[in-house]
């Protein structure tokens, strides 16, 4: 979905080592929200390094470091081409704008509040990320803490840290140690930046003036009374990043300790930077009753009601009050984002954003007449934004006349950043005939506020948009289904039966309530050429049919797949699924050992094995010979192939079955039942989850909000020996290499063999991705996983033992699974303990056997799947279908789920 402007602007050229301040590029557009950033740089650094942008690339001198093309390629890896180009345009325009009177434009970019733990654990990654931002011509103002380091030194000297009302009580000895810690950490970060060729200036004091907060109660703790921006601006004029600490001085020159979050807020009031972002381990604010993350809070519309909610109390109430007080002092375009550290890159470089967005906004309205809204204001909106008016197809008067002739409601916000019109004749399905957002309405997420208001009033809705609409990702996110024909896309939600969709659309077309381009009047524009997929569904409401579309739909375009590494068991199963797919053709199968031999398992056409080189792969991608690549290679092998495809700058989708990209930014982790399907639908790089990891995550996901935060859950997994992979063996009569397992039943002697008893890759994989589902504050959460190989061929059975945070009944736990997986066609929630035979040779996942310990705070659940199918090939097919615009289960035999 589309969101407000991320807090990082984009530059067009690398800048010299020291540059006159008038040449520096920043983003201070009046339409952009303003920000203070609380930064975790790990994800940025990982993405930079994954693209080959290393420390040496940054430190090779300003002119010899990263060039503009390298930066743009990195940005393309994080977001769509439309997003990157839009941000580059905005940056270019904003770099010419002037700052607030007395404040440099560069100082208005961002204030980064960095926790002390990051300086200890992730210094190199942090420095690399800051250097990358500076390479874009940006001057982030860095404000860091040092709490963990200070506590460690205090405890080493026998001083127990003491707090009152969450504020550290600071005596003279504590303050002396704090000054040493802050100076040490400040210089450490500065030195790390200088090593990368990025000039930085330590400013440990001199920015904040304070008076005693309450000397008798808190000691040497200050309340900031003034912010002197002169040291910050002097650093920027010298071409240096300013590195600040949260130390202040009073009028007598006494150093005082101040809270770093408070200091960041005071900087925001003076500098009015682009945005305010607070890092939150939960990844946002969560509704106290439903447990769901709150996407957006429009304070003018919702603040009073929120503060009266029974669940809004203690820290939540205080946080909302503080945010409102801060935003009330800033321009209305300012906003606060509460996000988790691993979501920072979405906040910086993509439309999608992350976490909870809080803005002042304006009150929303809904009116049933043009006059109630204001005809002159509406006329201006339609004149400026409506494509029918711009193209001359209709006048505003004609549109107004149509609206007056039928029952309709006009939705919007007070400044008209978004205007929507919903037609709803009595007894008929509503149609959103107009949706007209301004750029500010998109970037500040007002589109979501208005759409949510519409959704509250209408349980089902249809609407259309141009297939190349710049905001099409937002439409796909909001819809349960869509269809593209002749350059336009039709979207809907709330109608789960595709036959009912067809009936409704036929009625729309006959009555003229939607454009007639959906009728079968001739060949349609292929969806991929119109800029959108032929069909897309969201994760919220998967339809039960095997194929979604209209009876009047144009033929679905076929897609071509190349399989790299087809000798193994997973490759063979995937060949079978593609052979069964109605719209996929396997055109290339690469295997060094089988090159030249016919692929007998594939029946659609004659295909022979080949041995594709990296140059072959690059040329095929450049020529558009393949729509999707599947990497069925061992771990650590596929990167050269991915690099070759990336270098061709084509449009091919990659699905990697190895573990190589399961932790990479820029790659979508493709477990559709748990993580946002729309991400896969819009992704070109998909990492297929591991087999054990799939079982682990499906077992744990429904329980995540109820797990004991102290005791880690344990999964004991037993897999058939096919999970160990294959090895080269003897040749058959035709000279074909015979696929043999690395481990056999004979090797196991009829028993089982535990292996990799700690730190198995699937333990890390499961833990990393499940953390995104946590609503509790526990960034170090992990599970314990023990894998075992058994003397059967395929199939995994895993037993979860999970300590709970509260007493629960088995029926309550079972209901969690039913709710979580309702409508998921590959998941069966059962009551009896599943056996290995229930998963072997089947494409779905089955769970059951929920039992709760007599104490009520420990649950055991069992899950089974086939490691070669749902654990690999079937899941790959799901991801291919989503990324290529097909129904998620196309090609998957429904009688073997």
Instruction: Name the token pair of 183.
Output: 């100076």
pLDDT at position 385 over 70 = yes
Q: Which one is predicted more confidently, 121 or 196?
A: 196
- Least confident stretch, 416-420, 560-564, 736-740: 736-740
Q: pLDDT band at 660, cuts 50/70/90?
A: very high
pLDDT at position 797 over 70 = yes
Are residues 113 and 49 part of one domain? yes
pLDDT at position 334 over 60 = yes
| 805 domain residue, yes or no | yes
pLDDT at position 327 over 90 = no
Q: Which one is predicted more confidently, 104 or 399?
A: 399
**pLDDT of the residue at 23:** 29
Are residues 427 and 285 part of one domain? no
pLDDT at position 691 over 70 = yes
Are residues 195 and 48 part of one domain? yes
| 892 domain residue, yes or no | no
**pLDDT of the residue at 283:** 67
**pLDDT of the residue at 773:** 86
At residue 92's C-alpha, the angle toward residues 91 and 96, to 5°, is 100
| 290 domain residue, yes or no | yes
Burial bucket for residue 579 (CB in 10 Å: 0-12, 13-18, 19+): middle
**pLDDT of the residue at 392:** 84
Q: How far apart are CA 477 and CA 495, in angstroms?
A: 16
Section 386-390 average pLDDT: 86
Alpha-helical segments (H) within 61-197: 68-78, 81-94, 116-121, 123-135, 147-156, 172-195
- Give me the percent of the chain exceeding a pLDDT of 90: 40
DSSP assignment letter at 579: H
**pLDDT of the residue at 76:** 57
- Answer yes or no: are the C-beta atoms of 693 and 762 closer than 8 Å: yes
Are residues 233 and 206 part of one domain? yes
How many CA atoms are closer than 13 Å to the CA of 446, on its beta-carbon side?
A: 34
pLDDT at position 475 over 70 = yes
pLDDT at position 670 over 80 = yes
Q: pLDDT band at 623, cuts 50/70/90?
A: very high
**pLDDT of the residue at 71:** 56
**pLDDT of the residue at 81:** 57
Q: How far apart are CA 813 and CA 805, in angstroms?
A: 13
Catalytic residues: 691
The phi, psi pair for 439, rounded to 5°, reads -60, -40
Q: pLDDT band at 101, cuts 50/70/90?
A: low
The mean pLDDT value of the chain amounts to 79
**pLDDT of the residue at 333:** 67
Q: pLDDT band at 549, cuts 50/70/90?
A: very low
Q: How far apart are CA 217 and CA 207, in angstroms?
A: 25
- Answer yes or no: are the C-beta atoms of 549 and 498 closer than 8 Å: yes
| 895 domain residue, yes or no | no
Q: pLDDT band at 756, cuts 50/70/90?
A: confident
DSSP3 helix / strand / coil % (the chain, rounded to 5): 40, 20, 40
Are residues 380 and 309 part of one domain? no
Instruction: Name the token pair of 277.
Output: 């972002």
| 788 domain residue, yes or no | yes
Q: pLDDT band at 539, cuts 50/70/90?
A: very low
Q: Where among 301, 336, 359 does a domain terminate?
A: 359
pLDDT at position 324 over 70 = yes
Section 57-71 average pLDDT: 50
Are residues 371 and 335 part of one domain? no
Residue found under tokens 């399907």: 677
| 3 domain residue, yes or no | no
Section 715-739 average pLDDT: 69
**pLDDT of the residue at 30:** 31
Section 536-552 average pLDDT: 31
| 88 domain residue, yes or no | yes
Tell me which residue of 545, 538, 432 sits closest to 490, measured CA to CA.
432
Q: How far apart are CA 533 and CA 517, in angstroms?
A: 17
Quick one: CA torsion of 185, 187, 189, 193, rounded to 10 degrees?
Answer: 180
Section 397-404 average pLDDT: 87
Q: Which domain holds residue 611?
A: 559-688+876-885
SS3 label, residue 114: strand
Q: Where among 530, 545, 580 does a domain terminate?
A: 530
Section 641-662 average pLDDT: 94
Q: How far apart are CA 833 and CA 850, in angstroms?
A: 8
pLDDT at position 17 over 80 = no
Section 66-75 average pLDDT: 56
Candidate ranges 36-40, 741-745, 863-867; pick with highest mean pLDDT:
863-867
**pLDDT of the residue at 882:** 94
| 714 domain residue, yes or no | yes
Task: State the total domains in the chain.
Answer: 4
Q: Which one is predicted more confidently, 808 or 505?
A: 808
Burial bucket for residue 33 (CB in 10 Å: 0-12, 13-18, 19+): buried
Are residues 380 and 331 part of one domain? no
pLDDT at position 815 over 50 = yes
- Give me the percent of the chain exceeding a pLDDT of 70: 77
- Least confident stretch, 516-520, 567-571, 647-651, 690-694: 516-520
How many CA atoms are closer than 13 Å to the CA of 571, on its beta-carbon side?
A: 26
Residue 103 belongs to a domain with what CATH number?
Answer: 3.40.1160.10
pLDDT at position 501 over 90 = no
Q: Which CA distances in Å does 203 have to 116, 363, 868?
A: 16, 42, 57
At residue 681's C-alpha, the angle toward residues 636 and 455, to 5°, is 145
- Answer yes or no: are the C-beta atoms of 824 and 747 closer than 8 Å: no
Are residues 615 and 578 part of one domain? yes
H or E element in which residue 615 lies: helix 614-622
Q: Where among 359, 382, 408 does a domain terminate?
A: 359
Residue 605 belongs to a domain with what CATH number?
Answer: 3.40.50.720
**pLDDT of the residue at 70:** 61
DSSP assignment letter at 608: B
**pLDDT of the residue at 75:** 54
Are residues 661 and 697 part of one domain? no
pLDDT at position 534 over 50 = no
Residue 811 belongs to a domain with what CATH number?
Answer: 3.30.360.10
H or E element in which residue 563 lies: strand 559-564
Instruction: Name the token pair of 767.
Output: 């833990």
The phi, psi pair for 170, rounded to 5°, reads -120, 110
Q: What is the 3-state secondary structure (H, E, C) of 716-754?
A: EEEEEHHHHCEEEEEECCCCCEEEEECCCHHHHCCCCEE
Q: How far apart are CA 865 and CA 861, in angstroms?
A: 14
Beta pairing, strands 653-656 & 628-631: parallel
- What pTM does this model have? 0.46
Are residues 497 and 441 part of one domain? yes
H or E element in which residue 299 lies: helix 299-308
pLDDT at position 287 over 50 = yes
Q: Which one is predicted more confidently, 19 or 217?
A: 217
Are residues 104 and 119 part of one domain? yes
Section 303-312 average pLDDT: 86
Instruction: Name the token pair of 677.
Output: 């399907």
Are residues 217 and 297 part of one domain? yes
Radius of gyration of the chain (CA): 29
**pLDDT of the residue at 99:** 52
Residue count of the chain, please give it.
Answer: 897
Residue 483 belongs to a domain with what CATH number?
Answer: 3.40.630.30
Phi-psi region of 569 (alpha: psi -120 to 50; beta: other; left: phi over 0): alpha
DSSP assignment letter at 31: T
- Answer yes or no: are the C-beta atoms of 86 and 5 closer than 8 Å: no
């Amino acid at each position: 979905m589309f969101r407000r402007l991320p807090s990082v602007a984009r530059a067009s050229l690398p800048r010299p080592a020291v540059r006159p301040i008038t040449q520096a590029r920043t983003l201070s557009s009046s339409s952009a929200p303003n920000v203070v950033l609380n930064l975790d740089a790990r994800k940025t650094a990982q993405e930079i390094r994954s693209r080959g942008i290393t420390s040496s690339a940054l430190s090779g001198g300003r002119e010899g470091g990263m060039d503009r093309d390298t930066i743009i390629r990195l940005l393309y890896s994080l977001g769509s081409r439309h997003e990157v180009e839009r941000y580059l345009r905005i940056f270019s325009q904003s770099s010419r704008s002037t700052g607030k009177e007395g404040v440099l434009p560069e100082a208005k970019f961002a204030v980064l509040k960095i926790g002390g733990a990051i300086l200890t654990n992730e210094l190199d990654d942090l420095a690399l990320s800051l250097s990358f931002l500076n390479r874009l011509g940006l001057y982030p103002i860095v404000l860091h803490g040092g709490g963990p380091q200070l506590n460690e030194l205090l405890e080493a000297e026998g001083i127990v840290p003491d707090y009152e009302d969450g504020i550290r009580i600071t005596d003279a000895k504590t303050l002396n140690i704090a000054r040493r810690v802050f100076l040490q950490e400040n210089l450490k970060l500065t030195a790390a930046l200088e090593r990368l060729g990025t000039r930085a200036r330590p400013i440990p004091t001199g920015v904040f003036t304070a008076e005693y907060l309450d000397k008798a109660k808190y000691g040497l703790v200050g309340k900031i009374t003034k912010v002197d921006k002169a040291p910050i601006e002097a650093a920027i004029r010298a071409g240096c990043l300013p590195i600040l600490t949260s130390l202040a001085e009073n009028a007598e020159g006494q150093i005082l300790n101040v809270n770093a979050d408070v200091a960041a807020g005071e900087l925001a009031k003076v500098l009015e930077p682009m945005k305010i972002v607070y890092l939150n381990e939960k990844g946002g604010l969560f509704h106290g009753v439903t447990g769901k993350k709150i996407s957006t809070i429009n304070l003018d519309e919702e603040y009073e009601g929120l503060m009266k909610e029974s669940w809004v109390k203690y820290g939540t109430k205080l946080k909302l009050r503080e945010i409102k007080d801060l935003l009330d002092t800033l321009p209305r375009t300012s906003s606060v984002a509460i996000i988790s550290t691993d979501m920072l890159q979405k906040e910086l470089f993509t439309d999608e954003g992350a976490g909870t967005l809080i803005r002042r906004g304006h009150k929303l309205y809904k009116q049933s007449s043009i006059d109630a809204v204001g005809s002159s204001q509406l006329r201006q909106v339609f004149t400026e934004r409506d494509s029918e008016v711009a193209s001359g197809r209709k006048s505003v008067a004609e549109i107004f006349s149509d609206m007056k002739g039928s029952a309709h409601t006009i939705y919007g916000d007070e400044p008209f950043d978004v205007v929507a019109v919903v037609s709803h004749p009595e007894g008929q399905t509503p149609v959103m005939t107009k949706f007209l957002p301004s750029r500010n309405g998109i970037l500040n997420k007002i589109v979501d506020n208005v759409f949510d208001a519409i959704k509250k009033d209408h349980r089902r809705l249809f609407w259309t948009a141009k297939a190349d609409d710049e905001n099409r990702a937002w439409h796909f996110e909001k819809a349960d289904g869509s269809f593209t024909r002749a350059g336009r896309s039709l979207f809907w939600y709330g109608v789960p039966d595709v036959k009912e969709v067809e009936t409704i659309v036929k009625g729309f077309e006959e009555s003229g309530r939607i454009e007639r381009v959906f009728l079968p009047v001739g060949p349609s524009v292929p969806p991929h050429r119109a800029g959108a997929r032929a069909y897309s569904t969201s994760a919220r409401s998967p339809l039960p049919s095997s194929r979604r579309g209209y009876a009047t739909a144009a033929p679905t375009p076929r897609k071509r797949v190349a399989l790299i590494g087809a000798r193994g068991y997973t490759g063979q199963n995937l060949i079978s699924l593609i052979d069964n797919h109605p719209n996929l053709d396997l055109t290339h199968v690469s295997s060094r050992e089988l090159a030249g031999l016919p692929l007998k398992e594939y029946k659609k056409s004659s295909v022979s094995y080949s041995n594709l080189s990296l140059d072959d792969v690059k040329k095929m991608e450049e020529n558009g010979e393949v729509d999707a690549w599947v990497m069925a290679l061992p771990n650590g092998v596929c990167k050269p192939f991915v690099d070759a495809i990336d270098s061709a700058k084509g449009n091919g989708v990659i699905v990697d079955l190895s573990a190589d990209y399961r932790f990479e930014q820029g790659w979508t982790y493709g477990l559709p039942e748990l993580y946002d399907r729309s991400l896969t639908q819009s992704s070109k790089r998909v990492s297929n989850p591991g087999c054990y990891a799939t079982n682990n995550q499906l077992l744990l996901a429904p329980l995540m909000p109820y797990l004991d935060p102290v005791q880690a859950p344990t999964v004991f997994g037993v897999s058939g020996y096919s999970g160990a992979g294959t090895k080269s063996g003897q040749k058959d009569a035709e000279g074909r290499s015979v696929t043999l397992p690395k481990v056999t039943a004979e090797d196991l002697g009829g028993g089982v063999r535990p292996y990799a008893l700690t730190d198995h890759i699937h333990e890390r994989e499961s833990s990393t991705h499940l953390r995104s589902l946590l609503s509790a504050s526990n960034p170090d959460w992990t599970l314990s996983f023990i894998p075992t190989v058994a003397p059967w061929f395929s199939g995994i059975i895993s037993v979860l033992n999970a300590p709970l945070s509260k007493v629960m009944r088995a029926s309550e736990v079972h209901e969690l699974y039913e709710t979580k997986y309702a409508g998921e066609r590959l998941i069966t929630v059962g009551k009896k303990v599943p056996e290995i035979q229930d998963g072997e040779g089947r494409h779905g996942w089955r769970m059951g056997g929920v039992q709760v310990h007599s104490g009520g705070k420990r649950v055991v659940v069992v899950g089974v799947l086939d490691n070669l199918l749902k654990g690999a090939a079937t899941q790959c097919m799901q991801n291919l279908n989503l990324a290529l615009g097909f129904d998620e289960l196309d090609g998957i035999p429904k009688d073997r789920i």
